[in-house]
Amino acid sequence: MRLSVKHLLGIKDLTKEDIELIFQTADNFKAVLSRPIKKVPTLRDTTIVNLFYENSTRTRISFELAEKRLGADTINFATSSSSVSKGEGLIDTVNNILSMKVDMVVMRHSASGAPHFLANHIQVPIINAGDGTNEHPTQALLDAYSIREKCQTLKGKKVAIIGDIMHSRVALSNIFCLQKLGAEVLVVGPPTLIPKHIESLGVQVTYDVREALQWCDVANVLRIQLERQNKPLFSSLREYALFYGVNKKLLDSLQKEIIIMHPGPINRGVEIDSDVADGPHSIILNQVENGVAIRMAVLYLLAGKTSAE
């Protein structure tokens, strides 16, 4: 059995069976990660470059750790300290790296579609670690995996994605992933942060966070991405927190248990309050923990393909 794709560019291209295969493989890697020796030699003859054209803490460390736990050699690349600041283009940079016999590319880029473009020009497997406002597939996989771990299945589960839907690649990947696994999705946020025609993806839309929380089993709270907002889309962070922030008082008033998720980094006091983020129903740190196992699974399943061709 193999994945139906050569690259992981987005959840959009995956089948339900692909996602289930990734989860099943991640289960085994999670077991490896709980052993005294958290490492296997599977990818010991594979070299992977982490190309990060945009800042990242979690995703980057998680990928690097996943690669190391699989025994792969890793190279890290950050735009600020590289020849990109001298004006080198994407394909040139990648081709130069690949000529040093690198077997896989993990890439984050601020332009949507950058990994898709690269996939047309290079032969090795590419894993998208976030491209602009398009997709962040491994985040969606680890989110869905974390819900599955908590609730056994995603089928019929109601998931609300709260906040900056417009600029969020996490939102789009999550919508695709959750729907493929049979969950219902609702998006909520200020009208200026909800993309037009998002209903065409088959999600429900509301502008009232209380209504959304009343409906859902799981709330995935997203970060306000100020760095991607070229013009003001809401008056102030304070106002946003007041109308859309998830706080304890709001949750307590609903008298039901909701699983709280956040892809990080958290703006405490803006989209989510500390007592919610650190509360008993929060699985935010489980998400981070599962991220390593999910990324190991994706790397393992895609790496196996290189030499087969």
Query: Binding segment for another protein among 142-150, 157-165, 228-236, 298-306 (CB under 8 A)?
Result: 298-306
171, 194 contact by CB (below 8 A): no
Cα 141 to Cα 290: distance, rounded to the nearest angstrom: 9
Quick one: 67 or 217, whose CB is closer to another protein? 67
53, 81 contact by CB (below 8 A): no
Query: Binding segment for another protein among 27-35, 59-67, 156-164, 176-184 (CB under 8 A)?
Result: 27-35
Minimum Å distance from CB 70 to another protein?
Answer: 8
31 binds another protein (CB under 8 A): yes
Instruction: State which of residues 6, 20, 32, 225 lies at the interface with another protein (CB under 8 A).
Output: 32
Query: Binding segment for another protein among 31-39, 83-91, 197-205, 255-263 (CB under 8 A)?
Result: 31-39
306 binds another protein (CB under 8 A): yes
290 binds another protein (CB under 8 A): no
Quick one: 39 or 121, whose CB is closer to another protein? 39
Cα 279 to Cα 271: distance, rounded to the nearest angstrom: 15
Of 203, 175, 208, residue with least CA distance to 191: 208
Binding mask 38-57 for another protein (x = CB under 8 A): -xxxxx-xx-----------
Minimum Å distance from CB 147 to another protein?
Answer: 22
74 binds another protein (CB under 8 A): no
Q: Where does the chain have alpha helices with state H?
A: 16-33, 58-69, 90-98, 114-119, 137-151, 169-180, 209-215, 237-244, 248-254, 274-277, 284-303
CA distances from 48 to 66, 72, 158, 231 (A): 11, 7, 37, 38
Q: List b or e across 44-57, with b for residues whose CB sees 16 or more CB atoms inside 10 angstroms.
A: eebbbbbbbbbebe
Quick one: 80 or 307, whose CB is closer to another protein? 307
242 binds another protein (CB under 8 A): no
100 binds another protein (CB under 8 A): no
Cα 7 to Cα 5: distance, rounded to the nearest angstrom: 6
Of 185, 178, 139, residue with least CA distance to 159: 185
Quick one: 36 or 280, whose CB is closer to another protein? 36
Query: Any idea how long the chain is?
Result: 309
Q: Which residues make Cβ contacts (< 8 Å) with residue 187, sequence separation at least 6?
A: 160, 161, 162, 165, 171, 175, 194, 198, 203, 204, 205, 206
Query: Binding segment for another protein among 28-36, 109-117, 181-189, 278-286 (CB under 8 A)?
Result: 28-36
Query: Binding segment for another protein among 162-170, 251-259, 281-289, 301-309 (CB under 8 A)?
Result: 301-309
21 binds another protein (CB under 8 A): yes
Cis, peptide link before residue 115, omega less than 30° from 0 = no
Quick one: 69 or 109, whose CB is closer to another protein? 69
Look up residue 242 and give its two tokens: 């007041």
Quick one: 46 or 133, whose CB is closer to another protein? 46
293 binds another protein (CB under 8 A): no
Provide the binding-site residues for another protein, judged by CB under 8 A.
Answer: 1-2, 21, 24-25, 27-28, 31-32, 35-37, 39-43, 45-46, 70, 300-301, 303-308
